């Protein structure tokens, strides 16, 4: 259970269902950063992330009276946030746009593997302005499928099982996508760091 | 990267290895290979570092204050803004 789920466990489902505004405000406080982060990673920009966060909570609050508690509150909210993020991406994408074009389709790995030992570089170097920009760029190059799994599992700290439940896909499918997402990100960052180290 | 069968096996299991989701037998096998293969060690280390960097960045990301205020206004919960602060 991650930190958000632990905090969410203190909320009263009955109070939420009955529309208790203080309890709903507490729910928004607990989930607004995680939902915003997820939306930010999924959509790639702050404005869309803000819109997605608003839409997510509007839907959550509307649906709360019918929330039966069969799934965890966190799982349910993340599912709504993922759907809203995907809808936002569809809306903003002109036909034929390159946004969703993945370097290789989800089943293929034809890239050479970059071997550069950059893991021991100081964090100040790895997370300087350029380094952060590269992190954003690399994740934006992932397909939606890979990006979503990476964001839920590695950024939101959800388990493989929770990720599978939120996305309605099998556990082996989550594992396959996670492997591919991690390796693609590693590859892109390795190319960037090789070029950076060579130019020094 | 001159890949051997062992290297390919490591690559296909790297994610499970990092997550501690491999059997003890497979784990020993992969660890033994890592002792011998510098390239695979680099791939494992840089993959772990990749996850760590994103994680660090993510934990520092918060909804901007103006967006937070707008959110509470939109949800008609602005009378609660600032009263409860998580974390």
Assess if residue A190 is contained within a domain: yes
Assess if residue B43 is contained within a domain: yes
Please state the ipTM of this predicted complex.
Answer: 0.89
Structure confidence by residue, pLDDT tens digits, A44-83: 999 999 999 999 999 999 999 989 877 789 999 999 999 9
Q: Does B60 touch chain A (CB under 8 A)?
A: no
**Distance between the two ends of chain B, CA-based, in angstroms?**
45
CATH of the domain at A53: 1.10.1740.10
CB pair distance less than 8 Å for A25 and B67 = no
CB A139 within 8 A of CB A41: yes
Report d(CA B34, CA B28) in Å as an integer. Answer: 10
**Residues in chain A, overall count:** 200
Could you tell me if A83 and A140 lie in one domain?
Answer: no
pTM, entire model: 0.89
Assess if residue A108 is contained within a domain: no
> Which of A25, A152, A191 to mutate against chain B (most B CBs within 10 Å)?
A25
CATH of the domain at A182: 1.10.10.10
User: To the nearest whole angstrom, how far is the Cα of B73 from the nearest Cα of chain A?
Assistant: 10
pLDDT of chain B, 87 residues: tens digit per residue = 567 899 999 999 999 999 999 999 999 999 999 999 999 999 999 999 999 999 999 988 999 999 999 999 999 998 887 655 444
Assess if residue B30 is contained within a domain: yes
Assess if residue B13 is contained within a domain: yes
Tell me the residues of chain B between 9 and 48 that have a Cβ less than 8 Å away from chain A.
11-12, 14-16, 18-19, 21, 39, 42-43, 45-48
Assess if residue B85 is contained within a domain: no
Could you tell me if A77 and A129 lie in one domain?
Answer: no
Domain with B17, as residue range(s), is 5-76
| Number of domains observed in the structure of chain A | 2
Assess if residue A173 is contained within a domain: yes
Which value, to the nearest 10 degrees, does the dihedral of the CA atoms of residues A14, A20, A22, A23 take?
20
Q: Which of B43, B68, B77 sits opposite A21 (nearest CB)?
A: B77
Three-state DSSP class for A93? coil
User: To the nearest whole angstrom, how far is the Cα of A110 from the nearest Cα of chain B?
Assistant: 13
Q: Which residues contact B85 (CB under 8 A, 6 or more apart)?
A: A29
CB atoms within 10 A of CB B35: 9
Assess if residue A110 is contained within a domain: no
Could you tell me if A69 and A134 lie in one domain?
Answer: no
Give chain A positions within 8 Å (CB) of B62: 33, 36
Question: How many Cα atoms occupy the beta-carbon half-sphere of A6 within 13 Å?
Answer: 6
The separation between CA A33 and the C-alpha centre of its own chain, rounded to angstroms, equals 12
CB A106 within 8 A of CB A112: no
Could you tell me if A30 and A73 lie in one domain?
Answer: yes
Domain with A133, as residue range(s), is 123-198
Structure token pair of residue A58 = 């509007």
**Residues in chain B, overall count:** 87
């Amino acid at each position: 259970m991650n930190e958000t789920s632990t905090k969410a466990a203190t909320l009263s489902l009955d109070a939420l269902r009955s529309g208790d505004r203080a309890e709903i405000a507490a729910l928004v406080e607990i989930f607004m950063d995680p939902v915003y982060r997820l939306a930010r990673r999924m959509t790639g920009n702050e404005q869309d992330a803000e819109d997605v966060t608003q839409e997510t909570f509007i839907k959550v609050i509307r649906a709360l009276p019918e929330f039966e508690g069969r799934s965890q509150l966190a799982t349910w909210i993340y599912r709504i946030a993922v759907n809203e993020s995907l809808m936002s991406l569809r809306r903003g994408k002109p036909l034929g746009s390159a946004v969703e074009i993945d370097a290789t389709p989800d089943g293929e790995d034809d890239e050479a593997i970059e071997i550069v030992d950059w893991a021991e570089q100081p964090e100040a170097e790895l997370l300087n302005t350029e380094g952060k920009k590269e992190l954003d760029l690399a994740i934006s190059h992932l397909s939606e499928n890979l990006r979503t799994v990476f964001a839920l599992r590695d950024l939101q700290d959800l388990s493989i099982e929770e990720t599978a439940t939120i996305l309605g896909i099998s556990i082996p499918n989550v594992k396959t996508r996670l492997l591919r997402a991690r390796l693609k990100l590693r590859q892109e960052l390795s190319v960037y760091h090789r070029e950076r180290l060579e130019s020094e | 990267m001159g890949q051997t069968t062992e290297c390919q096996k490591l690559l296909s299991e790297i994610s499970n290895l990092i997550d501690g989701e491999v059997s003890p037998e497979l784990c020993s096998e992969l660890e033994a290979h890592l002792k011998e293969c510098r390239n695979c060690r680099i791939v494992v280390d840089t993959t772990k570092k990749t996850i760590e960097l994103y994680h660090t960045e993510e934990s520092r990301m918060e909804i901007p204050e103006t967006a937070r205020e707008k959110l509470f206004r939109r949800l008609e919960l602005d009378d609660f803004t600032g009263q409860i602060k998580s974390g």
